[in-house]
Amino acid sequence: EVQLVESGGGLVQAGGSLRLSCAASGFTFDDYAIGWFRQAPGKEREGVSCISNSDGSTYYADSVNGRFTISSDNAKNTVYLQMNSLKPEDAAVYYCAATVGIATIFHLEYGMDYWGKGTLVTVSS
């Protein structure tokens, strides 16, 4: 059974940093891509970033490029999202998701196959 468990959310002041973790199990980690998505109240889901474990390729939404960094620890089956220079508009529930193979901007737009339950990020101004 595919399981994705997010952690690391919390309350942070604007300009601060958080690191989210996505622990994966139930599939061959190296064969999958992992993405981070977010959804704020009243807004549509937004693809934030993704990484393909097979080749290490990464993609970022324009809204976070240069501030967020996605990375993968294949030994721990865990993907991280380092979020710096946080803004109030970054506040949302952050979900990690997985899809087999290579992920691209397409996946940030249309989503992936497996989803975690999310972790809440709150940014105070």
CA distances from 117 to 23, 32, 105 (A): 12, 18, 22
Amino acid at 9: G
Contacts with 88 (C-beta within 8 Å, 6 or more apart), sequence order:
14, 123, 124, 125
> For a pLDDT cut of 90, what percent of the chain falls above it?
98
* pLDDT tens digits along 23-76: 999 999 999 999 999 999 999 999 999 999 999 999 999 999 999 999 999 999
Tell me how far the alpha carbon of residue 66 is from its chain's centroid: 15
